[in-house]
Amino acid sequence: ALKNKFYRGLKPRVKDKLIKEDRHALSLNEYINKAIIINNRIFKRIMEDKGVYRNP
């Protein structure tokens, strides 16, 4: 139940990437950590496109 509530609050782009994961095979903490990693990657990519963030 908590995973579903968490999922509903995510940004669509994160949901699109997270949908590939087996929600039932992961604990809530693992699921949250996956979402954070995905969100950070998306954010870095957006910043790269804007020229603000550069990968070392």
Residue 18 lies inside a defined structural domain of this protein: yes
pLDDT band at 10 (very low <50, low <70, confident <90, very high): very high
Task: Provide the domain count of the chain.
Answer: 1
Residue 41 lies inside a defined structural domain of this protein: yes
pLDDT(9) > 80? yes
DSSP 6-33: HHHTS-HHHHHHHTTS-GGGS-HHHHHH
Q: Which domain covers residue 27, as residue numbers?
A: 2-50
Residue 55 lies inside a defined structural domain of this protein: no
15-51 confidence digits (pLDDT tens): 999 988 888 888 999 999 999 999 999 999 999 888 8
Mean pLDDT of 7-14: 95
Stronger pLDDT, 38 or 53, i.e. the higher one: 38
Residue 56 lies inside a defined structural domain of this protein: no
